[in-house]
Amino acid sequence: MTFEIFFQKLGLPRLATLIPAFERNETPPPRVLVPFMLWCLRGAYPLLIVGVIASVFGGVFEIASAFLLGRVIDTALENGPDALFSSHAGLFIGICGFLLVLRPLVFGTTSALQSIVIGPNVNVLALSRLHRWTLGQAVTFFDNDFAGRIAQKQMQTSRALTEVTIEGLNTVVFALASIAGATLMLATVDWRIALILFVWLALYLRFITYFLPRIRTRSAARAGARAAVSGQVVDTITNMRTVKLFAHAEFEDQAAIRAMSRYRNSALDFGYMATSFRFLLITLAGLLPVVLVGMALYLWTKGGATPGQIAATGTITLRLSQMTGWVSFALMGIYANIGEIEDGMRTLTPLHELTDDPGAVDMARPKGEIVFDDVGFSYGRKTGGISDIRLTIHPGEKLGIVGASGAGKSTLVSVLLRLYDVEDGQIRIDGQDIRGVTQESLRRQIAMVTQETAMFNRTARDNILYGRPDATEEEMIDATRRAEAHEFILGLKDHKGRTGYDAYLGERGVKLSGGQRQRIALARAFLKDAPILVLDEATSALDSEVEASIQEALTRVMEGKTVLAIAHRLSTIAQMDRIVVLDAGRIVEQGTHAELLKLGGLYATYWERQSGGFLAADEAAE
């Protein structure tokens, strides 16, 4: 029978479920260290208390072993070899039971709690909560940081918290129990030995309180520098095509080296402090057995201690000396990890800037009427964004949105999706203020196809089903056929030989052409089947031939929906029911294509530049 099967029969796998590893904590994470750690650990408290109790027993039993050794020596000297076992068989049986049954049981329980119950579950519990909180941040949170750095902080913080928890149980609690037990047992030898131990402990604690905060500070700096390296490297790798196209390998190498140099310097600062700490610690630890054993020997010469008590004192002090080194290194690790937790806490715990109202409800499937009622938004700046937007889009209406770069087109769409909250006015869908519904339910009613189509490094099937994860295989394939994507998907093959819908698309869909990515985006939109459709430059990055085929699919996906279509190519929106022209964040013109040309304003100027103006220039040249 293997150990794995043996442990399974003991029921150890059931221990792994005692802590709910994925339990939610709906309250915001505190920005103060201890409350933050308790926020991450909530739900694991009962098992942590059991772990504390087990560690206390382990620490006491460790010292008791040395005490029992002293009893054996004194008993042997008192009774001699002839009567030892006959007179004290019960004592030896009890000691054997303690060492072979009770002590292994306590330490085995402690190990199971730390390695099976607490360690794996606390790590995932903290990581899942930090990840959920991060997912709820507004897009500005991600715009202002590196994706790699945020991911690194999540992993780093949960790992550090787990190590602090485990080391706290395995080291701090165990050591405190051992020291308390040692003090009591040494006091039975002579109160002066216990007093010397107290004095030494005071020196030890002063030593610890001087060094550990400094180690913590340097650890936090090292953690921040390490995360910066991760962010820099991920940013470069993510944009590797741009690096290659601009022949900037050397430039990126130097940028990485600068980040690595800062990390190296912070690691050296930490190393210098750690070296000083360890050297002085070993010296202080060596002082303990010298003083205590010397005192015990002195008492023995005066008849105040037995040989067994000397042996017990020597064993206990040597154990404490070794333990103080172990505890100090563990505490150094704990403080280093606390520094990493604090560093991660600063990054990951800002309050959500965009939240649902307390009374927000889920939005029912709307008919599709959209009203912008005197809406303004400028990203908190004095200029930019949109202002004084008064616009009603009727259910099923196809609205084109035109304007120069920076005119406010994408901002108009972003506030509709509530990626930002409007600063002035109100947006209503079917008469309901979008701030009165949950963000998730609002966005479920709006499908969007953008110029830069987001793709996950997952299978083609997973990327398409992102539009509606509960769709059936038949519904998914129907959506891809309507988006004219089915045929090319069947021909996909990734580097591991997976084909068709099971092929992975690579990071950001790099293994697909622009047209293929747009077709998958359209398949998502077909599958989502939302009553409102937003097209943000959906074909601007495609050549004319590909655009023509995509346009047919776009026409199909727009059927029966309220559509907002942003486009620089005016030919793609000329057939819209109505066109709105934005300039400097305001609506300056609106009407049909023909009406706007007749008006002779900004739209007519754009149209002439893209079509008639070029033709006139060609005729003049001839």
pLDDT computed for residue 618 by the predictor: 37
Asked if 134 and 30 count as a contact pair (C-beta separation under 8 A), the reply is: no
pLDDT computed for residue 38 by the predictor: 93
Backbone angles phi, psi at 190, to 5 degrees: -165, 140
More confidently predicted of 87 and 432:
432
Whether residue 154 is predicted with pLDDT greater than 80 in this model: the reply is yes
**pLDDT tens-place string over residues 290-313:** 787 788 787 778 777 777 777 777
Q: What number of other Cβ atoms are within 10 A of residue 589's Cβ?
A: 18
pLDDT band at 604 (very low <50, low <70, confident <90, very high): very high
pLDDT computed for residue 508 by the predictor: 65
Q: Which residue do the tokens 């601009």 mark?
A: 246
Best CA proximity match to 20, nearest among 114, 109, 122, 162: 122
pLDDT band at 613 (very low <50, low <70, confident <90, very high): very low
Whether residue 78 is predicted with pLDDT greater than 70 in this model: the reply is no
pLDDT computed for residue 545 by the predictor: 59
Lookup: tokens for 104: 């292994």
**Residue 44 burial (C-beta neighbours within 10 Å; 0-12, 13-18, 19+):** buried
Average pLDDT, the chain: 82
DSSP string, 34-88: HHHHHHHHTT-HHHHHHHHHHHHHHHHHHHHHHHHHHHHHHHHHHHHHHHHHHHS
Name the fold adopted by 26-348.
ABC transporter transmembrane region fold (1.20.1560)
DSSP string, 386-399: EEEEEEEE-TT-EE
pLDDT band at 424 (very low <50, low <70, confident <90, very high): very high
Whether residue 512 is predicted with pLDDT greater than 90 in this model: the reply is no
Beta strands 446-450; 432-433: pairing state: unpaired
Cα separations in angstroms, 449 against 413, 494, 515: 12, 25, 12
Residue type at 53 in one-letter notation: I
Whether residue 390 is predicted with pLDDT greater than 90 in this model: the reply is yes
pLDDT computed for residue 238 by the predictor: 75
For residues 166-171, average pLDDT: 83
Q: What number of other Cβ atoms are within 10 A of residue 571's Cβ?
A: 14
DSSP string, 539-552: TTTS-HHHHHHHHH
DSSP string, 496-534: TS-BGGGSB--GGGTTS-HHHHHHHHHHHHHHH--SEEE
**pLDDT tens-place string over residues 534-544:** 988 766 655 56
Whether residue 399 is predicted with pLDDT greater than 60 in this model: the reply is yes
Best CA proximity match to 418, nearest among 448, 395, 383, 388: 448
SS3 string of 216-277? HHHHHHHHHHHHHHHHHHHHHHHCHHHHHHCCCHHHHHHHHHHHHHHHHHHHHHHHHHHHHH
pLDDT computed for residue 436 by the predictor: 92
**pLDDT tens-place string over residues 469-494:** 899 999 999 989 888 888 889 998 88
Best CA proximity match to 260, nearest among 238, 218, 227: 227
DSSP string, 121-132: HHHHHHHHHHHH
Whether residue 402 is predicted with pLDDT greater than 90 in this model: the reply is yes
Q: What number of other Cβ atoms are within 10 A of residue 555's Cβ?
A: 11
Whether residue 589 is predicted with pLDDT greater than 80 in this model: the reply is yes
Asked if 207 and 280 count as a contact pair (C-beta separation under 8 A), the reply is: yes
pLDDT computed for residue 109 by the predictor: 83
pLDDT band at 12 (very low <50, low <70, confident <90, very high): low
Domain chopping of the chain, boundaries: 26-348
Residue type at 19 in one-letter notation: I
pLDDT computed for residue 513 by the predictor: 80
Strand partners, 241: none
For residues 324-345, average pLDDT: 80
Best CA proximity match to 28, nearest among 317, 313, 352: 352
Q: Which residue do the tokens 């913080």 mark?
A: 157
Lowest mean pLDDT among 10-24, 59-73, 203-217, 397-411: 59-73
More confidently predicted of 300 and 500:
500
Best CA proximity match to 478, nearest among 514, 429, 550, 527: 527
For residues 353-376, average pLDDT: 91
Asked if 149 and 231 count as a contact pair (C-beta separation under 8 A), the reply is: yes
Strand partners, 391: 372
For residues 5-11, average pLDDT: 55
Distance separating alpha carbons of residues 159 and 507, to the nearest angstrom: 26
Whether residue 316 is predicted with pLDDT greater than 80 in this model: the reply is no
pLDDT computed for residue 599 by the predictor: 92
Backbone angles phi, psi at 400, to 5 degrees: -95, 145
**pLDDT tens-place string over residues 113-131:** 888 888 889 999 999 999 9
pLDDT computed for residue 56 by the predictor: 85
pLDDT band at 68 (very low <50, low <70, confident <90, very high): confident
Asked if 386 and 408 count as a contact pair (C-beta separation under 8 A), the reply is: yes
pLDDT computed for residue 581 by the predictor: 94
Q: What number of other Cβ atoms are within 10 A of residue 20's Cβ?
A: 11
pLDDT computed for residue 223 by the predictor: 78
pLDDT band at 84 (very low <50, low <70, confident <90, very high): low
Lowest mean pLDDT among 149-158, 200-209, 495-504: 200-209
More confidently predicted of 286 and 376:
376
Whether residue 388 is predicted with pLDDT greater than 80 in this model: the reply is yes
pLDDT computed for residue 621 by the predictor: 37
For residues 495-511, average pLDDT: 82
More confidently predicted of 552 and 467:
467
pLDDT band at 509 (very low <50, low <70, confident <90, very high): low
pLDDT computed for residue 11 by the predictor: 55
By percentage, how much of the chain surpasses pLDDT 70? 90
